[in-house]
Structure 1
Amino acid sequence: MVNIQQYKQMLEQPWGKIQYEITFAQLAHLKNKKILDFGSGLGLVSQFLGENNEVVAIEPEKEMLFAYPNHTYKKILGSLEQVEKFEAESFDIVLCHNVLEYIEENNRENYLSELKRVLKQDGKLSIIKHNQVGKIMQAVVFSNDVDQALELLKGNEFRSVSFNSGTTYTIDKLLEMSKMKLVKYQAIRTFYSLQMNEVKTKDNWLKKMTEMELAVCDLYPYKDISFLQHVWLMKE
């Protein structure tokens, strides 16, 4: 089960806010689109995009879906069975952020196939995924937990502070499962996951670190070592 209160408290901290600042910046170009946010969580991304787009959010956890009184987008309680109700090619953009890690590996292809089905031709799928390399770096540098890093290196499950256990997957594996074209991928959390939290409460930290993260998010090797990767796929 998701620990919603713990998750909401984390989002109030500078190290919780910055991830969404980076994500919003990478999505800000989307205007006048019909968007499906699958696994929308607390709806922060849906709320942001709903200001300039028509957004439908699907979330299986009722407490998360209705955690905030957002009104800029439509909320649907459920999971893949709700996606199946939409006609093919219903959306310009589909978001699937921090979701596939928590789905059984042998079922991920089914989810991707259905998300692809509801995309319009030339529509884009936005996936935010955990990156094994970045997670290992954080385990060693930030958490000082070599045992955890070694388990991650073996490809074993990781456990999130607020969510259930999950497993990482590569971009190559994502392309194989989705049968879609890679447009680009971007870094999220290249540096700030490696800093101790004490420095993150200092004046101007959030602004300056967000600037730094965005400065490298499209550059090698930074996007190959980031904690999260934002992958854009296109339906052909």
Structure 2
Amino acid sequence: MVANIQAYLENLQQPWGQLYYDILFEQLKDIKGKRLLDFGSGFGLVANHLAKENQVLAVEPNEEMVALRVQDHPYQQCVGSLDQLASLEDASFEVILCHNVLEYVEDRKAILKEFTRLLKPGGLLSIVKHNEVGRVLQTVVFENDTRKALALLAGQDLETHSMGLAQAYDLDAAVEDLALEVKDYQGIRVFYGLQDNRFKGQEGWRKSMLQMELAVCQEPPYRDMAFFQHYWLTRS
């Protein structure tokens, strides 16, 4: 399945797409005064938000997404992928973000090696990834598709609505021979992806659901059932 950029953008403009960023921005709120790389920056929503209080370089391979990006605050935007990373100096960033990207690439290990090289010692790597348990829960509860859920349990990749096949991967295994250590993780989309969409346009839904999601995003077992997990790694 080829990525449908317009469908992806329209999804982000829905209440559930906006709520994802409400949660993520709250989890990123302590990042201030940093030299920051946003790899796979998409429409620039995170880069733009963090550029209010940080020096941000955004890298995105898809020219269509870059053309539609948000830029209310100044940040540098590049079109590229691994080639762009290779051109950057060692230990040049205090924070690197890579959100919902590594599921869709073949060169995951090469990208993580570049992140290790580019991070300063003690620097932070923020990775948002699909969670296999959350993917199965949504498929059974929201989509009511047990056949698809059983296929996911058997190891089949998840076909997302607009971005193609998302391949599950083990983050600990991906970084086991790198100078990166997983420190903590939070859940994103614990509850709201399980609700019928007819509730999500109601007045006050976004605010009340944000409060609910933030109340449990760092708590087991809720964070272990979320559709996305937000991992924090440090560079040793």
Corresponding residue of 1:41: 42
Which aligned segments of 4 or more residues in structure 1 are displaced greater than 4 angstroms? none
How many percent of aligned residue pairs carry the same amino acid? 46
Gaps of 5+ in 2: none
Query: Is contact 1:113-1:178 (8 Å) kept?
Result: yes
Give a deviation string over 1:115-140, Cα, whole Å, max 9, x none: 11100010010000000000000000
Corresponding residue of 2:220: 220
* Distance in 2, Cα, partners of 1:26 & 1:175: 22
Query: Is contact 2:37-2:97 (8 Å) kept?
Result: yes
Q: Following TM superposition, by how much is the alpha carbon of 1:69 offset from its aligned partner in structure 2, in angstroms? A: 5.0
TM-score w.r.t. the length of structure 1 is 0.96
Which residue of the other structure, out of 62, 72, 87, is the alignment partner of 2:89?
87
Corresponding residue of 2:15: 14
Corresponding residue of 2:116: 116
* Distance in 2, Cα, partners of 1:66 & 1:16: 20
Corresponding residue of 2:66: 65
Gaps of 5+ in 1: none
* Distance in 2, Cα, partners of 1:159 & 1:196: 20
* Distance in 1, Cα, partners of 2:214 & 2:18: 14
Query: Is contact 2:112-2:175 (8 Å) kept?
Result: no
Cα distance change of structure 1 residues 177 and 25 upon mapping to structure 2, 3 Å threshold: farther
* Distance in 2, Cα, partners of 1:207 & 1:218: 19
Corresponding residue of 2:32: 31
Does residue 1:200 correspond to 2:200, yes or no? yes
SS at match of 1:133: helix
Query: Is contact 2:57-2:78 (8 Å) kept?
Result: yes
Q: Which amino acid aligns with 2:82?
A: L
CA-based RMSD of the aligned residues comes to: 1.2
Query: Is contact 1:56-1:74 (8 Å) kept?
Result: yes
* Distance in 1, Cα, partners of 2:3 & 2:36: 25
Cα distance change of structure 1 residues 202 and 73 upon mapping to structure 2, 3 Å threshold: same
Give a deviation string over 1:25-63, Cα, whole Å, max 9, x none: 000111000000000011100000001000000000011
Query: Is contact 1:131-1:169 (8 Å) kept?
Result: no
Query: Is contact 1:55-1:74 (8 Å) kept?
Result: yes
Q: Which amino acid aligns with 1:162?
A: S
* Distance in 2, Cα, partners of 1:182 & 1:190: 21
